[in-house]
Structure 1
Amino acid sequence: METATTSAAVRQSPGRRGKKTSVADLIIHAVLFVLTIATLLPFYNVVLMSFSNTVAVSKQLVYLVPTVFDLSAYSYILHEPRFFKALLVTLFVTGVGTAVNMLVTVTGAYVLSKSGFPGRKIVMSGIVFTMFFNGGLIPFYLTMKNFHLINNLLVMVLPVAVNTFYMIICIAFFRTLPAGVEESAKIDGANDLQVLYKIVVPISMPMIATITLFYAVDRWNEWWYGVLFMTNVNLLPLQALLRELLTNYQQVLSSITTSVRVGDSGLQPEMLKMAVLVVSTLPIACLYPFLQKYFAKGVMIGSIKG
């Protein structure tokens, strides 16, 4: 009798554990769902407000349901004569700048991750030093001028070719890779560059994709160097141009002809701010789906046989 009772209890316990697990999963998913809604709500609100006008937004504290569809803010931005030039400048800086960033960062990090590299500690000390100290704005400007980078798009690429923090992340990652992978490749006749680009880079794609995304966002959001070194307004990046539009908008409204045109369309500064946010973030946000697949991949899957 006792044996039968014990067996029945054992048979029931997995079901109970499964029930408890399902309840716990339900609670976790509910909490994550609420957090997701809380995270997405501000972005959703910004997008709706960019397509609306002040009258519609002022009727409710949080704008959730669109009542007006107005493209005046986007029309105002797109009708800026320098908009597409600024967009091309930003695309160039983002594409070329990110490529240069990754080339210098990955190759430099790979070399510095080797304990046998002569002078590695001295070089690392110099790299870390730049995180805490710099020469100041005026010497930096004079240096760029001496290199003839004023009104040159490369001024937004070369001075920021390496982010010290990102390079340290790459160095720490490369140190975790097993030495056996590289040794096997060198036995087969591969040199250091072949080992890096044919062995190390493919198995480091999750890290490389993440750093690439970080660099791309940094280059896309570049505006300070554009304002500082570009006296030619046609060479301003997109972020600097959008900042200029927002800064000068009150002066634009003071013009009689513009005031009539803007006022009739229902465009207000708050709506223009939201439209600028959408225009400045949407293109770079499109990169996330293409890089997302690398984030969840195992770093060392398939790198070592048996």
Structure 2
Amino acid sequence: MVRDSFADKLFLIGNRIVMTVLLVAILYPLVYITSASISDPSLVNNGSMWLWPKGITLEGYERVFANKEIWIGYRNTIGYTLLGTAINLLLTIPCAYALSRRDVAGRNALMAVFVFTMFFSGGLIPTFLLVKSLGMHNSIWALLIPNAASMWNLIVTRTFFQSTIPRELEEAAEMDGCSHFTLMLRIILPLSLPIVAVMALFYGVSHWNQYFSAMIYLSNRSLFPLQLILREILVLNEISALTMDGDSVKAVAEQAKIADMIKYAVMIVSALPLLVAYPFLQRFFVKGVMIGSIKG
């Protein structure tokens, strides 16, 4: 049995200290927001509640879920996330695999064109005019088509294929008469589940948190995603608290308390689905990122 040297022990101790500090830095805000969402706002504001909930109340959640537009936003966001992620994967995975093959003519030129788009774009106004001229304005496609593929994700996926899928395996399949489509579907994809899960998580989180594109392209409230509706709730509550009659101090204070409760409840409502889904994808996420981004 090999004993750790003093330097190894010192490194392990330092590593554990750093990891503990990072864990606290990440975990504390999550616990605090969760506790604040079910605590009395006055206790939160005066600092009495700093970790565990006090004066438990669910009024914030009741007010949030009493809004019918919240449920419409949930429905829309789930639809945008599922459909958008499917489109992203359908474009990213085959394209990355094709660019990873050395026998594809002009792949370096194509990569140069793709990388160019990472640094230069037409800008917001030309993009808006293009979306409008294509007839996608005020439709779900305005949120899905312009962001159908991410160049960064494409590079990560291509690197995964280059560093993980043996070229000899592809050649053996081709010698057995396997077509490119069959090779991709039956051999490459089953071996690429880690990077597929990583890309699904990246794209899914992006679609779930998206609100800026909806602000620009959507005017039909029945198409609003959850994040845009939650933003409106926060803004309206803050405005109503600031514009109330100054003589009614008690009413202003009560409105501010309600706004605080809604604020924390909204944070939990918007983040909970992703927090629930992430543990199931974590092992794929770690493996896919380590192989796709570090190797090669």
Do the structures match in fold with TM over 0.5?
Answer: yes
Matched, 1:66 2:56: no
- What are the Cα deviations for residues 194-231 of structure 1, in whole angstroms up to 9, with x where unaligned? 11122112222222211211110001011111111111
Structure showing greater radius of gyration is 1
Local SS of the residue matching 2:119: coil
- Structure 2 vs 1, CA of residues 241 and 193 (structure 1 numbering), >3 Å: closer, same or farther? same
2:183 equivalent in structure 1: 195
- Structure 2 vs 1, CA of residues 129 and 67 (structure 1 numbering), >3 Å: closer, same or farther? same
Aligned residues between the structures: 284
| Aligned partner (choices 112, 126, 147) of residue 139 of structure 1 | 126
Please report how far the alpha carbon of residue 112 of structure 1 lies from its aligned counterpart in structure 2 after TM superposition: 1.3
2:278 equivalent in structure 1: 288
- Structure 2 residue runs of 5 or longer lacking an equivalent are 292-296
Mean CA deviation greater in 186-195 or 25-34: 25-34
CA distance in 2, matches of 1:154, 1:260: 47
- Structure 2 vs 1, CA of residues 137 and 33 (structure 1 numbering), >3 Å: closer, same or farther? closer
Matched, 1:211 2:199: yes
CA distance in 2, matches of 1:24, 1:150: 56
Q: What is the identity, as a one-letter code, of the residue corresponding to 1:283?
A: P
- Structure 2 vs 1, CA of residues 46 and 125 (structure 1 numbering), >3 Å: closer, same or farther? same
Local SS of the residue matching 1:217: helix
1:10 equivalent in structure 2: none
1:90-101 equivalent positions in 2, closer than 5 A: 90-101=77-88
What TM-score does the superposition give when structure 2 sets the normalisation length? 0.85
- What are the Cα deviations for residues 38-68 of structure 1, in whole angstroms up to 9, with x where unaligned? 3201110011111113211134276112211
CA distance in 2, matches of 1:158, 1:264: 44
2:72 equivalent in structure 1: 85
Please report how far the alpha carbon of residue 77 of structure 1 lies from its aligned counterpart in structure 2 after TM superposition: 1.5
What TM-score does the superposition give when structure 1 sets the normalisation length? 0.82
1:271 equivalent in structure 2: 261
Please report how far the alpha carbon of residue 121 of structure 1 lies from its aligned counterpart in structure 2 after TM superposition: 2.3
1:226 equivalent in structure 2: 214
Matched, 1:115 2:102: yes
Cα RMSD between the aligned structures?
2.9
CA distance in 1, matches of 2:167, 2:279: 33
- Structure with higher helix content: 2
- Structure 1 residue runs of 5 or longer lacking an equivalent are 1-13, 301-306
* Contact map agreement 1:72 1:267 (CA 8 A) in 2: no
Please report how far the alpha carbon of residue 296 of structure 1 lies from its aligned counterpart in structure 2 after TM superposition: 5.2
Q: What is the identity, as a one-letter code, of the residue corresponding to 1:46?
A: I
Please report how far the alpha carbon of residue 240 of structure 1 lies from its aligned counterpart in structure 2 after TM superposition: 0.8
* Contact map agreement 1:72 1:265 (CA 8 A) in 2: no
2:146 equivalent in structure 1: 159
CA distance in 2, matches of 1:252, 1:72: 18
- What are the Cα deviations for residues 132-158 of structure 1, in whole angstroms up to 9, with x where unaligned? 111122221111112111121121111
Local SS of the residue matching 1:182: helix
- What are the Cα deviations for residues 3-25 of structure 1, in whole angstroms up to 9, with x where unaligned? xxxxxxxxxxx59x279788976
CA distance in 1, matches of 2:150, 2:93: 11
Mean CA deviation greater in 204-213 or 261-270: 261-270
- Structure 2 vs 1, CA of residues 48 and 140 (structure 1 numbering), >3 Å: closer, same or farther? same
